Structure 1
Amino acid sequence: MSHFRQPEDLRDYQNRVASWVENCFGGAVLMDRQERARRLLEEAIEFAQAAGLSAAEAHYLVDDVHAREAGDLGQEAGGVITTLAAACFGTGLDLHQEAMRELARIERPEIIEKCRRKQAEKAERGVAMRGRENGAA
């Protein structure tokens, strides 16, 4: 099983992703806490959907979580990555391999443009910040 060998590997990955987000959407989108939370939630929902979770189950979980007091952001971030690692293991996925494959995919120029278009569409629907479009700041 492939994995991050050293803590520096995970930091390097995080820095690469941050650079990609800043290049693709701009620094304001990268640093906006609510925007980052929306994109994390969106990806988590897409993972759950791909794993067979129904919309009704997802709605129930949202209501259940929001019925409790908000947790500590750092602890919750650790919980997200720990849970993702367990979910990947339990579904036969290699977390490191999938992370590196996705980063290589999104770094392609045509995918960057597609991501910018999708971000603009989400902004039009009111579910995302407006980011950099077509390379403009």
Structure 2
Amino acid sequence: MTETRNTRQRQILEWANKTFGKSTADNTGERIRRFAEEAIELAQAVGLDKQAMIDIIEHVYAKMPGNVAQEIGQVGVSLLGLAEHLNIQADEEESKEFERIKSLPADHWQARKNAKADKGIALMSTATGWYRDDIATFTTLCLVDGHNVTIDDVINWSDEQCRQAEEWAGACHFCASDNNIDVPEMPAHVRACVTVKATPEESCGSFN
């Protein structure tokens, strides 16, 4: 379970970075605001009234700040205790919720994020049109010949190398369909894979 949750933890921030832009999502102020919002919504759903929440906030902020790592641990312990009391499987619900949010389009979440930003309780989305997806990059490369790139190659590339490879492969593919577009030169890191022998299982490309 620990390994699964550690993996999910990494995947959640990766999803947020792709959906909202790294400068927005990978921001401590933004992350803690989103956590605070969800914690308050949980308290509301269980039935805690607003004044009780205000009283707790006053009590906590009258004290010195705690250790961040320890406080995260205490949040987890408290959440699991609440979940057990309510006969809810926290890990199962967490997994289901992550699958749900991934199933919705990015523009849905970006619109919600920006609506919160307009109210001053969130940062605006800074997502661009391209985000890293190693499988998508590899699949795009599989549309063209002339290389022996493997999925392991793609995983080890930088974001910029992935973007360049995707743009090159996409342009080659569309040009082959008689579309009049400029095709950039094969990126050096893609060309380097031409001289590397790969098995058919590892590579989707073929040599010309």
Larger relative contact order (CA 8 Å, sep ≥ 6): 1
Task: Indicate which of 96, 101, 107 corresponds to 1:113.
Answer: 107
Runs (4+) off by over 3 Å: 132-137
State the identity %: 27
The answer on 1:86 being equivalent to 2:81 is: yes
C-alpha contact 1:25 1:131 (8 A) present in aligned 2: yes
Give TM-score, length-normalised by structure 1.
Answer: 0.88
Residue type of the alignment partner of 2:26: M
Structure 1: distance between partners of 2:52 and 2:17: 34
Give TM-score, length-normalised by structure 2.
Answer: 0.59
Matches within 5 A, 1:28-107: 28-107=23-102
The answer on 1:122 being equivalent to 2:116 is: yes
Structure 2: distance between partners of 1:28 and 1:69: 29
Instruction: Show CA shifts across 1:65-85 (max 9, x none).
Output: 101100011111111111111
RMSD over aligned Cα, in angstroms?
1.7
Question: Aligned in 2, Cα 1:69/1:98: closer, same or farther, shift over 3 Å?
Answer: same
Q: Which runs of 5+ in 2 are unaligned?
A: 132-208
Structure 1 position 133, deviation (Å): 5.7
Structure 2: distance between partners of 1:134 and 1:56: 41
Q: Which runs of 5+ in 1 are unaligned?
A: none
C-alpha contact 2:30 2:123 (8 A) present in aligned 1: yes
Residue type of the alignment partner of 1:128: A
Instruction: Show CA shifts across 1:23-76 (max 9, x none).
Output: 111111222111111110000000000000011111111111101100011111
Instruction: Show CA shifts across 1:2-22 (max 9, x none).
Output: xx2xx2112101011111111
Question: Aligned in 2, Cα 1:83/1:136: closer, same or farther, shift over 3 Å?
Answer: same
C-alpha contact 2:22 2:126 (8 A) present in aligned 1: no
Structure 2: distance between partners of 1:31 and 1:134: 15
